[in-house]
A and B are shown apart, each in its own frame.
Chain A
Amino acid sequence: MIIKYLLIIFMVVSFPTFLLSQEEEEEEENPHVEMIDDEFVCLDCHTDIPKKGQTSPTYFLVDAPSENCLGCHDETQHAGAKEHEGQKAEHLPGDENGNIACFTCHDPHPGGVIEGRTVYDAQLSERSKKFIEFIVVPNLKEELGHEVKPEFSTTEVYLREPSNEICITCHEAPIKKDWRNHPPWYKFTDMYTY
């Protein structure tokens, strides 16, 4: 009899805990990964599930393109992000003003979601890792006094081009204009809105 009561008490106590843990797990879900299997995740960012061929200068986003990613991500998600903000996205998709936004370099859609679209992981050479670990991080701690650490994960960054090429697309184009015939940003609306 006592065991029966103990069991009931245990279930009453543990059930909310179980529900809470489920909730936490749900919060940690990554919509960029979820959209591979669940097309309704598209509605997290888009006003409608864009059909193939549909285009819009705002990419059918729920917020202004420049603001859309900031619902979940920080403005300073990674070093260098702010340094690019406001620059003209001449060779890759840009925001409502044609300026660089998160999705200029990162495709929010992982591979397989949009037909014919390939996305890339970042590549980090051993020398880069050493430079960050032995020089950049200690200097940041010493000069600015904040706790920083190296972050070497390179997957799930969904780059539109392989690491170096995504930089070269804009940074080398002024030097080698014929390196690749990149159409102006607004012509990407055909390719990047569905």
Chain B
Amino acid sequence: MNRTIAIIAFSILILGFIGCRTQSTSDGSEDMKAKASGDLKVNYSHDVHKNVMDKEEFDCFVCHPMNVEVEEELSLEEMIKISNKSFFPGKETCHFCHFNPQAGNIAPNQCDTCHINLADIQPKNHNFNWMSKHAVFSKADGESCESCHSPVFCQDCHKRRDLPTLRVHDRNFRFVHGIEVRANPRACGNCHQVTFCDTCHIKGGYDY
């Protein structure tokens, strides 16, 4: 009987200890994985960046620039606005290293490091059947594409011979596609229309 009570008490102690640890970890914002998409205050950690900043010999002004000069007479309110916008430039600070299609990235470029829901940052026209529509848009406004994609992104499909395995599907994708379709049907919609599925699943397949 005493042994049972001792075991229960010990278990409660252990569980309490684990509970406290979990709570204290979740309170420390520095340790948290990003919670809010694009929220710099939550997503950015000075601690995480400290080593790389030291290694690259970057100064603090690389993110908080003070070196701008105003060439006109302005009110104090306007000057404060300029000061604030210069000292805390916002997402451009992150993008200058992590997402810089023009000059190239010098830091990891996984968008989901900060943007948890990628649908938030995906342009509205990148929807169903985008793969077949994109040529028109890219010819009309190539610069718009380059605000997110580097030229390599286009070349990967348009210039390379191994394109089907590179950015599209593995060679045996036909046999496993059912799993991925059920996991994320929206991903299929980026390139295919529903009629594409119907061709095999209802009508009986393509005429090769």
Q: Which residues of A contact B (CB under 8 A)?
A: 74-76, 78-83, 123-125, 127-132, 134-137, 139-140, 143-144, 146-152, 163-164, 167, 171, 175
Contact = CB atoms under 8 A, between A and B. Distances in A.
B151 interface: no
B96 A131 contact: yes
The A interface is mostly helix, strand or loop, or mixed, namely helix
B83 A83 contact: yes
Interface in B92-139: 92-93, 96, 103
Interface string B79-93: 111111111110011
Contacts of A125: 57-59, 61-62
Contact of A127 (B46, B58, B76): B58
A139 B60 contact: no
Interface of B: 46-47, 56-62, 64-72, 74, 76, 78-89, 92-93, 96, 103
Nearest to A151: B69
A171 B46 CA distance: 10
A128 B59 contact: yes
Given A79-B86, A82-B79, A127-B56, 20 more contacts: A78-B66, A79-B67, A79-B83, A79-B87, A80-B64, A81-B66, A83-B84, A125-B57, A125-B59, A135-B92, A135-B96, A136-B68, A136-B89, A140-B85, A144-B81, A146-B74, A147-B70, A148-B68, A148-B82, A164-B60
A149 B89 contact: no
Contact of A124 (B61, B78, B81, B89): B61
Contact of A80 (B76, B78, B83): B83
A140 B82 contact: yes
B76 A76 contact: yes
B68 A82 contact: no
Contacts of A151: 67-69
B69 A148 contact: yes
Contacts of B67: 78-79, 124, 128-129, 132, 150-152
A118 to B, nearest CB: 19
A124 B87 contact: no
Q: Which of B46, B61, B66, B86 has the most CB of A within 10 A?
A: B61
B70 A128 contact: no
A130 to B, nearest CB: 8
A132 B183 CA distance: 44
Contacts of A147: 70-72
Contact of B59 (A82, A123, A134): A123
Contacts of A81: 66, 83
A119 B74 CA distance: 32
Contacts of A128: 58-59, 61-62, 65, 67
